[in-house]
Amino acid sequence: MSQKGIVIVTRPLHQADDLAHTLAVAGFDVVRVPALAIFPALDTAPLRGALEHLERYALAVFVSPNAIDGALAELERAWPESVAIAVMGPGSLKKLAARGITSPPYRLFVPSLGEHARFDSEALFAALDIGLLRQRRCLVVRGNGGRAWLIDTLVENGVKVDVVESYRRAPGEIEDSEKERLRSLMATAQTASIVVTSSEALAALKTQFAEVDATRGVAWLMRQKIIASHARVAENATAAGFASVVLAGAGDDSVVRAIEWPG
């Protein structure tokens, strides 16, 4: 076991490799606990219909990297330069860049990437030129469920909003070997840092840990240090009663620094 400590990574399995590798190289012992799993939307017809008529929109908002993956997998042509794109943070910008969508020639909106940046709906709304969007049409691409704040606020400001789903979230499955590792940690009262990248994942963890160990699971979970990737996740973790919550900056290296922080 690593002398630097144990880190539980809760990202979906297919998205956890880079962070798990970074943590392992930094000397941590990694346990994979996918709080959520990502699947294609159950009904992709509304998404495909919107993509076929992209030019009607002044702006497309992707609420997450998963939203980008799901939508662009269905897009059978180049993204039109006339349609601006808004995303929540650097992870989504990286996804777009991998598909050749960069500024210029595309117009991209993203919250400020400064030291104390927030990557949430409120920060994204503040980055938009709302005056140019009034009475125009906006496409919001998201998963099933999630917050409606951005959609509601756009509508309140006179924007015509279409919402489509490009993916869906479902409870993740923990491999048996990882369940045994968790039970061992609980039985020996060891501590861990838990990297959480969404409020939905945060909520799912209690159910998962109760299933791993009905007696000790949730109580052990609540005593661990939560490494939150976004300010809203940190706020929700604190409100939920977690004993220790640390807000990490953008990127996997910032996650490592947050774990090493002594607080």
CA distance 121 to 125: 6
- Greater confidence (114 vs 201) lies with 201
Domain holding 76, by residue range, is 64-169
Residue 97 counted as domain residue: yes
- The answer to the question of residue 76 being in a domain is yes
Residues 6+ apart with CB under 8 A from 4: 26, 27, 28, 29, 260
Residue 159: inside a domain, yes or no? Answer: yes
Write the single-letter amino acid at 81. E
pLDDT, tens digit (0-9, with 9 covering 90-100), for 190-249:
999 999 988 889 889 999 999 999 999 999 999 999 999 888 899 999 999 998 999 987
Would residue 232 count as lying in a domain? no
Residue 102, domain member (yes or no)? yes
Looking up residue 110, the CATH number of its domain turns out to be 3.40.50.10090
For residue 262, name the pLDDT band (cuts at 50, 70, 90).
low
- Give a yes or no: residue 161 inside a domain: yes
The pTM of the full predicted model, rounded to 2 decimals, is 0.86
pLDDT band at 115 (very low <50, low <70, confident <90, very high): low
Q: How many CB atoms lie within 10 A of CB 176?
A: 8
Q: How confident is the model at residue 25 (pLDDT cuts 50, 70, 90)?
A: very high
Number of domains in the chain: 1
Instruction: For residue range 65-108, list pLDDT tens digits in order.
Output: 999 999 999 999 999 999 999 999 888 999 999 999 999 999 99
Strand order across the beta sheet in which 137-143 lies: 36-40, 160-171, 137-143, 59-62, 84-87, 108-109
Angle between helix 45-52 and helix 65-72 axes, rounded to 10 deg:
80
Residue 20 neighbours by CB under 8 Å, 6+ apart? 9, 30, 32
Helix locations, 170-214, DSSP H: 176-187, 199-212
Residue 26 lies in a domain: no
| Residue 214 within any structural domain of the chain | no
* Predicted local confidence at residue 1, as pLDDT: 46
Instruction: Write the pLDDT tens digit of every residue in 122-167.
Output: 999 999 999 999 999 999 999 998 789 999 999 999 999 999 999 9
